[in-house]
Structure 1
């Protein structure tokens, strides 16, 4: 498959960058991933969403790729399709083409209950015991009385490295300074590091779910609070998404004001590193 020929038949979305969109089937989902990989493109993101409306609609897994022609966005409706578990719709695994997809697919499994066929790593990624393993925050489900009871916290199954003289050194998740938490498990022999495995997701705050509960014109405040050191960047990105959907252009003065605030934020972050 040639990406350039494939994009010619796609829907072109409005926005500051060339964006191309299509709903695809499972076989096309996999073929496009392989073609993008072979062409030197990158997987930008992978996420899931619940687009059910009563008896219609389905769960959807989406992927965004960066290719020479711009941004390529694919949706794969899952419906009842599953070769693993009827309660957890599945889709073709992208890890053979993009290893970075592993963590994104594990996050989609935690939040939406959709799983990648053939994926070898099915450990939880974002769920650190804050909600039951069979409850998925991003699904449209019956109202529940508050947050579901947390599950019993168990030891995370880090990959073990065996051999004479091999030691495991755990670091984190709490670190010195103000950096975000993360657990790093080093497997070492003397001063040689054989393997480093990370476990992140400690700062997951349910932002994506909260966005679904707010009116579009009120969610810009939430966007600006995703990360305290990037308030302008996140808020502007959210506004750009809405403006692209509405096919509108902001006044030149508004653009310059945004640029001024963004530059001040950039400088402040550089000063904070000194």
Structure 2
């Protein structure tokens, strides 16, 4: 369904720039809020994100971003403040189940309640926050007295003969981000898994209120270190849309080069870790070596191993020296050949395939139910890739070839990673061979009027989304950041059902979802 078909009376098209990725904004009432959610679902659209804001003291709004045929639809519903039964906004989790945790987070951060929601447990607030403290309300100073003891979380209990619980985390053995996993099991077979996240919450969205729109890219790039390129590009895209900026073609192509290099680096690391989790240490050693070589060339060519702060509003901070173009093309040949050798080794290892095949199956039905996206969705038959479906520059010129698998198990997610490496290598060769000339940055200026913009980038886990609102002084009124892990974490709870507990680390790694980018 096309966005203009909804017939919103005050539909605003946000600034357009190179590519075929459009964005629209509309203020709606409660009836239109509910009707739109149902219509989007019926026409195979997706809920990208949901968030709240206090527009002025005591004045609130709830927003939702939907992916439709011709781009993003950003809806905003004015909402009455207060904590009465009638204060809040209509629940849409019955239409989009992935909205459940987003709505719980909205209440914790802003104090807006989803009317009629079935699950209203705290999500980001672990009981340490003072009563009636909502960090994104404008009167919250951050100096309130916090509690040192967490509240008990009401996990869902499973009853029955022989059922017991296993608690894992939030502190794990190894350098791993914090997250709690509560297993209900009979013997070692998992009947239910429930996750408790939010331990990596750092108040990122409140921090954005203290920086100007033209400086916020540095904060965006530190939301999640393994996704710094995608988050920074999404942020800069939002700023550029808000300020009606035009980006030099060379900068757009260099941005895509950085994004594909970030994608390959993470897939190399994951393939090694997946081999190691299945007892194949040789895979970890080889892929770690390949990833390290990849990161070292990042540092030599762009000045940072993980490419942090390379994308800036208006373009990129660093051009590429011609001698590194040749080095990258040579490295692409080497990576392509060596990864294909490793894939054959993985395929021929009966022990690996025994662990991979049939483990952690995420059916297409469950993936569709939760709106699963990114590589996890593509490994369950969901052909979703923003670079293909809504191509932004330069992907409307350098076209991406779809990579997907319909098996939905660990083996499928491994295969998708291998094939995405090959596709990204192909894209890098194309980008480097036809790199446009010219400047790498266009200065941007805030013109003094309030503005809005969105950024939507296909990161290595899935689509990263940022919605930005600025004031007359160029400062950020609200910057909402969304990682695809919001959609994919609930699906992991279903993928583990029927598997044994020792397979969870392998299944979890095959998803490799974000903690920091999710918790903000």
Aligned to 2:124, what secondary structure does the other structure show? coil
Aligned to 1:218, what secondary structure does the other structure show? coil
Please show how residues 121-200 of structure 1 align to structure 2 within 5 Å: 121-141=119-139, 143=141, 146-150=143-147, 152-200=149-197
Deviations 1:167-202 (A, max 9, x none): 111111122343322111111223432211111111
Residue 238 of structure 1 is aligned with which of 220, 235, 239? 235
Structure with bigger strand share is 1
1:37 aligns with 2:35: no
> Cα gap change, 1:151/1:22 in structure 2, threshold over 3 Å: closer, same or farther?
farther
Deviation of 1:150 (Å): 2.5
Partner of 1:6: 6
Deviates more, 1:253-262 or 1:94-103: 253-262
CA contact (8 A) 2:165 2:184 kept: yes
Partner of 1:267: 264
Name segments (4+ residues, structure 1) moved above 4 Å: 1-4, 80-83
**Structure 1 Cα separation of the partners of residues 44 and 5 of structure 2:** 16
Using the size of structure 1 for normalisation, the TM-score is: 0.89
CA contact (8 A) 2:3 2:73 kept: no
Deviates more, 1:210-219 or 1:73-82: 73-82
Aligned to 1:29, what secondary structure does the other structure show? helix
1:79 aligns with 2:80: yes
How many residue pairs end up in the alignment?
267
Structure with more relative contact order (C-alpha pairs < 8 Å, separation 6 or more)? 2
Q: Which blocks of at least 5 consecutive residues in structure 1 are unaligned?
A: none
Partner of 2:117: 119
Q: Which blocks of at least 5 consecutive residues in structure 2 are unaligned?
A: 273-520
> Cα gap change, 1:151/1:63 in structure 2, threshold over 3 Å: closer, same or farther?
farther
1:19 aligns with 2:16: no
Partner of 2:50: 46
Structure with bigger helix share is 2
Deviation of 1:204 (Å): 0.9
CA contact (8 A) 1:46 1:62 kept: yes
Partner of 1:64: 65
Partner of 2:353: none
CA contact (8 A) 2:130 2:144 kept: no
**Structure 2 Cα separation of the partners of residues 95 and 258 of structure 1:** 35
Aligned to 1:78, what secondary structure does the other structure show? strand
> Cα gap change, 1:147/1:252 in structure 2, threshold over 3 Å: closer, same or farther?
farther
CA contact (8 A) 1:82 1:91 kept: no
CA contact (8 A) 1:188 1:195 kept: yes
CA contact (8 A) 1:49 1:61 kept: yes
**Structure 2 Cα separation of the partners of residues 268 and 80 of structure 1:** 45
**Structure 2 Cα separation of the partners of residues 63 and 12 of structure 1:** 16
Aligned to 1:259, what secondary structure does the other structure show? helix
Point out the structure with max Rg over C-alpha.
Answer: 2
CA contact (8 A) 2:2 2:69 kept: no
**Structure 2 Cα separation of the partners of residues 131 and 169 of structure 1:** 27
**Structure 2 Cα separation of the partners of residues 18 and 227 of structure 1:** 26
Using the size of structure 2 for normalisation, the TM-score is: 0.48
